[in-house]
């Protein structure tokens, strides 16, 4: 089985977010980037298929040279090879088109993407990709088993879960639950050294125009001041909750 894992290069959730050029562009200064968490669950599941079923695992992203450390981390975790499509990921359709070209040329059986990236939270790419390559698609996937060309997936739905059976080729939009958090992998020294010798191919982007453009960004309103009350002063706490916060 050939598996393609789509990797997004996103800011760490602890990063302080700012914008420049009149709030139209994200300020990357001082920001630590990581593998998109939803993609990390997918990569770990792909590694399980590699170890249990002999699958080959390729990771791919659409990004410029600064995204290569993220791909190298995926290689250190155990992916066999990496592909970087040398372009700025300007919008979901553009990214899906670039990934579709790689998917078609590589003839992959299973494509694992995160249901969304945690930077722009568009949630568009997996579904678009499946449509572009005419593959089956399961979104919000929290469990996946593959036997031959048959797949059984469990996905989250409003108020519960749904189990579906489908066939390869398949695209999934994975998320937390695809593997347990405790099973996520940290690259060890041997993996880091081996990653240096693994292939990282850089491809020119396909001639595709972005369909959308970010006009402006706006940060949430700052939280109000916090008022501390001594644990011994319950009367003051009750008074504040009743008369100021008006929650009782």
- Domain holding 43, by residue range, is 2-219
**Does residue 185 lie in a domain region?**
yes
**Does residue 52 lie in a domain region?**
yes
**Does residue 234 lie in a domain region?**
no
**Does residue 243 lie in a domain region?**
no
Cis amide bond preceding 169, omega within 30: yes
117-132 confidence digits (pLDDT tens): 998 888 999 999 999 9
Q: What integer pLDDT is reported at residue 41 of this predicted model?
A: 97
- CA-based nearest residue to 90, from 43, 125, 127: 125
**Does residue 195 lie in a domain region?**
yes
Domain count for the chain = 1
Angle between helices 125-133 and 92-106 (to 10 degrees): 40
**Does residue 87 lie in a domain region?**
yes
CATH of the domain at 11: 3.40.50.620
How high is the mean pLDDT of the chain?
93
Backbone angles phi, psi at 65, to 5 degrees: -60, -25
**Does residue 235 lie in a domain region?**
no
**Does residue 172 lie in a domain region?**
yes
pLDDT over threshold 90, residue 210:
no
pLDDT over threshold 90, residue 90:
no
With a pLDDT cut of 70, the percent of the chain lying above it is 100
- CA-based nearest residue to 179, from 47, 41, 46, 57: 41
Instruction: Please state whether the predicted TM-score (pTM) of the whole model is above 0.75.
Output: yes
Measured from the Cβ of residue 138, the count of other Cβ atoms closer than 10 Å reads: 21
- CA-based nearest residue to 136, from 114, 154, 110: 110
pLDDT over threshold 90, residue 92:
yes
Banded model confidence at residue 209, pLDDT cuts 50, 70, 90:
confident
Span 43-63, average pLDDT: 97
């Amino acid at each position: 089985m050939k598996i393609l894992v789509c990797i997004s290069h996103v800011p760490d959730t602890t990063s302080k977010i700012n914008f420049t050029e009149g709030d139209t562009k994200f300020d990357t200064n001082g920001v630590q980037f990581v593998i998109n968490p939803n993609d990390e669950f997918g990569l770990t599941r792909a590694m399980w298929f590699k170890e249990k079923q002999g699958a080959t695992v390729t990771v791919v992203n659409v990004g410029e040279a600064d995204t290569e450390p993220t791909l190298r981390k995926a290689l250190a975790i155990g992916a066999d090879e990496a592909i970087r499509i040398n372009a700025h990921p300007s919008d979901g359709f553009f990214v899906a088109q670039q990934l579709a070209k790689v998917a078609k040329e590589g003839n992959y059986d299973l494509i694992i993407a995160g249901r969304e990236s945690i930077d722009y939270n568009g949630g568009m790419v997996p579904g678009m990709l499946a449509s572009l390559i005419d593959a089956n698609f399961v979104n919000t996937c929290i469990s996946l088993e593959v036997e031959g060309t048959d797949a059984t997936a469990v996905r989250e739905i409003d108020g519960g879960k749904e189990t579906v059976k489908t066939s390869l080729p398949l695209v999934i939009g994975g998320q937390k639950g695809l593997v347990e958090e405790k099973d996520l992998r940290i690259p060890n020294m041997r993996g880091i050294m081996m990653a240096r010798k693994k292939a990282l191919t850089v491809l020119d982007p396909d001639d595709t125009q972005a369909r959308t453009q970010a006009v402006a960004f706006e940060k949430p309103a700052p939280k109000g001041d916090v008022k501390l009350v001594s644990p011994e002063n319950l009367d003051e706490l009750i008074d504040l909750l009743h008369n100021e916060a008006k929650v009782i």
